[in-house]
Structure 1
């Protein structure tokens, strides 16, 4: 990957991170189909680009994260600290095996096959987003009382963690899965968005710890890509969040996922 490609991928990551359309899935599709990068390298590089958006989140929520970290260290756990502990725990329990399994499988697949996998995952994300925009179903109403407590429960934190763990697969939107799961359980939308952002920090740190050694690109090219992602993420964070609240991205995911599946089938047939 050259510097121009690195900048383009950083910009793409910066824009798509805040939208429920799977930034890793979009970056992987672009790398494989436009730049001819192998699926394994594309997956590793897509995770690396989260460094940029991670720093944007750290900067944006620096005071809140500092307070939460201090409370965690001093064992003064409130709602957010308890939520982060259990959600991160279940993210690791679900996400680590899925990550290792996908890394093993992707090495034996070609770009066409991975296009199909990411495409189907995007379609699934679209369906989940569409469902989350509806009112909680009756079966959820039996679990979550109408006059619910203001604080998020441990069970809800566990569900959000499981949803985030599944999102280690490219094409599954992390924010879409976590926010959608919390909304289905009756959590207020603003709180669901905030908690989704906070729980992303330890998850991204864990993914980067696992993937840094797998990135084979020159350090300068990687830095350019990460810096581009950071700048774009920071500049577009507020606007993209407002856009994500107003627009229905379920159709976007389904359409792009379908295109990826069609491209995959055509690649196999041709």
Structure 2
């Protein structure tokens, strides 16, 4: 299989899974194993192409970001609180990610960790779906500061590949009484500074490992993930509103069990 086809396949997988609670990084790691796309430079690729999905959020919700930006300039309280909650939620991941980067990098090369995390995470989603009943927060603008901080801390669990950043933040938000759609959108918006920061930091740390071909591959994967994620991000909110998160939980468990069986038997 040619490198370009591999980049396109991984870009599609990233775009499909970044905003679903199924772990995009986990899927990229398992797909990389299947396609033989492993090694030091592949780690930077798997992190960097997530920027394409983040750009899709900016495009899909451009009106929301524009309105918040204009509101902040005008000193509107709700726009300022929205911005505060996103930045505060991002802070734990920024600090812990910088300190634990090398450990995270090693985990990104561990498909067995992904398989186990997919199964455990699927079971956790099923349990949380049954537990959550009371809604206390219906808008990001009215989310209390402690809730934003707590969700930001929960997001850090997703540094273990296979956990899912969106899954951790959405489930954490639900446990804290955030309404389903609001929880999903907060996860989308929180991804913007989180994944942008992770991409820039990863490319900087791995700059000596990357060749021109590596950067060209990242550009291809990033472009493909952008297009696919743009189609997925709004559809996900509709699916969640109708079916909840249980379908994604069962999907995680099935993929995790299959991956575990494959890894142990090869």
TM beyond 0.5: yes
Residue of structure 1 in register with 2:202 after alignment: 211
Are 1:101 and 2:103 an aligned pair?
A: yes
The CA deviation string for residues 131-163 of structure 1, in whole angstroms up to 9 with x for no partner, is 2212338xxxxxxxx684652211211111012
Q: Any unmatched runs of 5+ in structure 2?
A: none
Are 1:7 and 2:8 an aligned pair?
A: yes
Is the Cα–Cα contact under 8 Å of residues 80 and 195 in structure 1 kept in the other structure?
Answer: no
Q: How does 1:45-194 map to 2 (within 5 A)?
A: 45-71=45-71, 78=78, 79-103=81-105, 105-106=106-107, 114-136=110-132, 148=136, 151-194=142-185
Structure 1 vs Structure 2 CA RMSD: 2.5
Paired with 2:12 and 2:194, the residues of 1 have a C-alpha distance of 22
Change (3 A) 1:73 1:200: farther
Paired with 2:115 and 2:218, the residues of 1 have a C-alpha distance of 26
Q: What TM-score, normalized by structure 2, do the two folds share?
A: 0.84
Change (3 A) 1:94 1:131: farther
Is the Cα–Cα contact under 8 Å of residues 95 and 164 in structure 1 kept in the other structure?
Answer: no
Are 1:223 and 2:219 an aligned pair?
A: yes
Paired with 2:155 and 2:217, the residues of 1 have a C-alpha distance of 29
Paired with 2:53 and 2:128, the residues of 1 have a C-alpha distance of 25
Aligned residues between the structures: 252
Paired with 1:149 and 1:189, the residues of 2 have a C-alpha distance of 10
Residue of structure 2 in register with 1:197 after alignment: 188
Is the Cα–Cα contact under 8 Å of residues 12 and 228 in structure 2 kept in the other structure?
Answer: yes
Residue of structure 1 in register with 2:18 after alignment: 17
Secondary structure of residue in 1 paired with 2:99: helix
Is the Cα–Cα contact under 8 Å of residues 11 and 49 in structure 2 kept in the other structure?
Answer: yes
Residue of structure 2 in register with 1:260 after alignment: 259
Paired with 2:230 and 2:45, the residues of 1 have a C-alpha distance of 20
Shift of 1:61: 1.3
Is the Cα–Cα contact under 8 Å of residues 16 and 232 in structure 2 kept in the other structure?
Answer: yes
Is the Cα–Cα contact under 8 Å of residues 13 and 23 in structure 1 kept in the other structure?
Answer: yes
2:232 is matched with which residue: 232, 236, 261? Answer: 236
